[in-house]
Amino acid sequence: MSQTADFIEFHESENNSFTIKHKSLNKYIKVGRREAEFLKLMLSQPQESERERLYAGELTAPERRYLAAKFEEWGFLQAEAAEVSGKKKDMTLIKLLRINPDAWLERRLGLIRVLLHPVAIGAYTLLMLGALYMMMSDPGLVNRLSLSGLGVKEAVILYLMMVATTAFHEMSHAAVCKKYGGSVPETGVMLFYFGPAMFCDVSSTYLFKKKRHKLAVLFAGIYSQWMMTAISAAAFYGLLHAGIEVPLLFYYSVANLGMSLLNLIPLVKLDGYWMLSHSLGIVNLRQKAFRYVFGRLLPGKESNRKPARPFEMGVLLLYGIAAAAFTPLFWGWGIYQLIDRLQPYIGIASYAVALVLLAMLAVHAMKFWKTLREPV
């Protein structure tokens, strides 16, 4: 690791590239050696005239101007957080509540290591397999899926159980990240495609040397949901065997399993996306794929960056087409969910809210359209 300014760390990684961390913003970018050397020069020589006089690298003048603007936009030229330009705000993800759990996790690191010991993971997996066997061998499984036993009271309890499970999901990401030496500076509540959700900042995984450690952190949330599904299903069938039927436990198992499978979809930035991106070794997979696809389809929109490998070209093409088709559907689902939640309280005005959001989305889409030629 090298360090030029007090607030910037340079971590050399594979393929002659660097992961650069802004310590106060807890933000990471991954760039090539030429770009990293230019950023070091910018930090040591803030004056453009002096910087241009000293620069002896391979970047052209237009490339240097572009990089200078991007480093400024990302906040990597100043120690403190700057106000984010409204042009670059991401409407798919709006954070509402943030807390820092890192110190709390640090004090419980011993317990985390016990709970995540390979023997414990093996026990959790056996429990999941046992619960799956009980569900698959249940002759009344299809009838139980009718939700005939789900009343208003049960629906409210089920919703609260799912909220608690989501919190457990995010803390599972945090615990595994902490186990492998990462930091977790932020977790909280957000709107994801206008639907309520929770988040956990495990971006320190970018500094992990082993890919399996990165993937373990990303998979931890879904694995924790499968564990909760297994516990609930085992409790349901155990009580059923004793002559006591608690349908809520079964409904929770099914709902939780469904939510975990939804989280595996890689076409939007859910856990499945980050696992796919890390597995393929393609940083900014979604942005690169969109720009590659639109660069091929639209006249005059050729990308400034060409994929280095035929394999990467194929991945970007297939992923870009699939994500471009799926994303509008996901936006539609988010707006529908918002209307459905608001309608009991504000009636027809919920549609007015939806129209305002659609107008904002149209503006967001046009701004995104203009960025398609920018390199990632």
Q: Distances from the Cα of 282 to the Cαs of 91, 109, 276, 326, 330, in angstroms?
A: 23, 31, 9, 20, 23
Q: Distances from the Cα of 350 to the Cαs of 15, 144, 194, 355, in angstroms?
A: 51, 34, 13, 9
Site of tokens 């709902």 = 255
Per-residue model confidence (pLDDT) at position 86: 43
Per-residue model confidence (pLDDT) at position 194: 64
* Distance between CA atoms of residues 352 and 359, nearest Å: 11
* Distance between CA atoms of residues 2 and 44, nearest Å: 14
Domain ranges of the chain: 8-83, 110-273, 282-370
Mean pLDDT of the chain: 83
Give 169-194 pLDDT, tens digit per residue: 999 999 999 999 998 999 999 877 66
Contacts (Cβ under 8 Å, ≥6 apart) of 126: none
pLDDT score of 2 more than 60: no
pLDDT score of 87 more than 50: no
Of the candidate ranges 44-53, 96-105, 110-119, the one whose mean pLDDT is the lowest: 44-53
The DSSP secondary structure of 331-360, one letter per residue, reads HHHHHHHHHHHHHHHHTTHHHHHHHHHHHH
pTM value is 0.77
Per-residue model confidence (pLDDT) at position 84: 43
Mean pLDDT of 11-35: 79
Confidence of residue 295 (pLDDT cuts 50, 70, 90): confident
Give 203-251 pLDDT, tens digit per residue: 888 888 888 999 999 999 999 999 999 999 999 999 999 999 888 999 9
Backbone φ and ψ of 95, nearest 5°: -80, 130
Q: Tell me the angle at which helices 152-179 and 211-241 cross, rounded to the nearest 10 degrees.
A: 150
219 C-beta neighbours (distance < 10 Å), count: 19
pLDDT score of 77 more than 50: yes
What token pair was written down for 70? 């991007």
Per-residue model confidence (pLDDT) at position 332: 83
Of the candidate ranges 15-29, 161-175, 189-203, the one whose mean pLDDT is the lowest: 15-29
* Distance between CA atoms of residues 167 and 264, nearest Å: 17
* Distance between CA atoms of residues 359 and 329, nearest Å: 16
Give 114-123 pLDDT, tens digit per residue: 999 999 999 9
- For residues 83 and 230, the model is more confident at 230
pLDDT above 90 as % of the chain: 35
Give 314-366 pLDDT, tens digit per residue: 899 899 999 988 988 887 887 887 787 778 778 888 888 888 878 877 776 77
Per-residue model confidence (pLDDT) at position 112: 95
pLDDT above 70 as % of the chain: 87
Confidence of residue 92 (pLDDT cuts 50, 70, 90): low
- Contact yes or no for 27/186 (Cβ under 8 A): no
Q: Is 19 left (phi over 0), alpha (psi -120 to 50) or beta?
A: beta
Looking at the chain, list the stretches that DSSP marks H as alpha helix, in order from N- to C-terminal side.
33-44, 48-54, 61-74, 102-107, 109-115, 118-136, 141-144, 152-179, 211-241, 247-263, 271-280, 285-297, 310-346, 349-370
* Distance between CA atoms of residues 68 and 82, nearest Å: 16
- For residues 3 and 184, the model is more confident at 184
